[in-house]
Structures are given as C-alpha cells and as structure tokens.
Amino acid sequence: MGNCRSSGLLLDANIRDIEEETGFTANQIERLYSRFTSLDKQHKGHLTRDDLLRIPELAINPLGDRIVHAFFTDGHARSTNDISEKEGMREVINFPDFVRVLAHFRPIKKNSEKNKLNSRQEKLKFAFRMYDLDGDDKIKKDELLHVLHLMVGANISQEQLVSIAERTIQEADEDKDKMISFDEFCKVLEH
C-alpha cells in the first residue's frame, strides 16, 4: 500500500476539511482512502455504482443496490457540479463524497453538535432516499413494495406484501395523497 499523501490526491488540508465535516479522525480517513483507492480499480479518482457494488457487504446485502442508490442521490452530492442533468443524480462519486456518505453510518454521539452528517435528521434523510426510488421526495406504494420485496425476499407472498405496503401508507399518510412525505416518514419512525 503506497503512502496516499505522496500521491497528491489526499493532502493534509483535504484531510482536515473532511475531518471537520464528517467527524472521522485523520487515521480513519486515511484508512477509508486506501479502501477507496482499492475500489477505484482504474485509478480514475472516483467510483461508479459498479465499483461500490463490489464492496462485499453491499454485494450480499439485499438492500445493497438501494444503499448505493442513496450514495448517488446524497443531498451534498446534488449541489456539486458534475451531476448528470437528466436525473439530478451523480454518475460517479469522489473521495470526499464517499466519506460524507459513510459518515451517515457513524453512531450518534451525545454532545457532538458540530458533526451534522450523522445527526438523526441526516440518518432519516438517508433512509428516506433508500425508499424514494425516483427521487421525487415522496414514497409511493410501488416504491415501498419494491424495497419490502428486497428485504423479505420470497418469504412472503406478493399479496401479503401489497397489503403491508397499503397499510403502512395508510397509517403514515396524514395529508391523504396516498404517498409518504419525508415529514410523514419521520413521524412513523418516531413511534
């Protein structure tokens, strides 16, 4: 494994920025960087969806594809320049994006107000994006059904899944538009 700092891609200044934004320590960031470069087979400096799906934990997770999707529709990524216009979705993520997304999975620490990425609100947003397949900020029955199907596989009949999805939407849907908004989603998970 080469020294990543000498590669010029990960400078001390970048590490400090990332540290401050995500709450990871410099050591953790360097470890994530070697993970990132090992996934970046062609040394392009960014990862595609296929690269991420090569992560074993994601490859065997029935929700792996959805998790990867949430990586690429991350709110922070949306504000950067190199997004694909047609879907408002990135095709590749660079190292800071990669770390930002992983920061969502860090446990919530008490009294750590400065790291907002792993706040409860951010975690909920990330979970919401896993369900919101078309990115319109609403979860429709079909989207819920799709994710339920991935989670339970073939163990439950399609009929039962439909009834679970319908019941879930009914219970969450306060404004009766037959879809779950982010606010409605948060209220359900608070119970």
- Which residues contact Ca ion by CB under 5 A? 132, 134, 136, 138, 173, 175, 177, 179
82 or 134: whose CB is closer to Ca ion?
134
Contact 174, 186 (CB under 8 A): no
93 or 147: whose CB is closer to Ca ion?
147
Q: Shortest approach of Ca ion to residue 90 CB, angstroms? A: 18
113 or 175: whose CB is closer to Ca ion?
175
Q: Shortest approach of Ca ion to residue 143 CB, angstroms? A: 5
Contact 138, 132 (CB under 8 A): yes
175 or 190: whose CB is closer to Ca ion?
175
Q: Shortest approach of Ca ion to residue 128 CB, angstroms? A: 10
Q: Shortest approach of Ca ion to residue 38 CB, angstroms? A: 34
Whole-number Å distance between alpha carbons of 111 and 138: 32
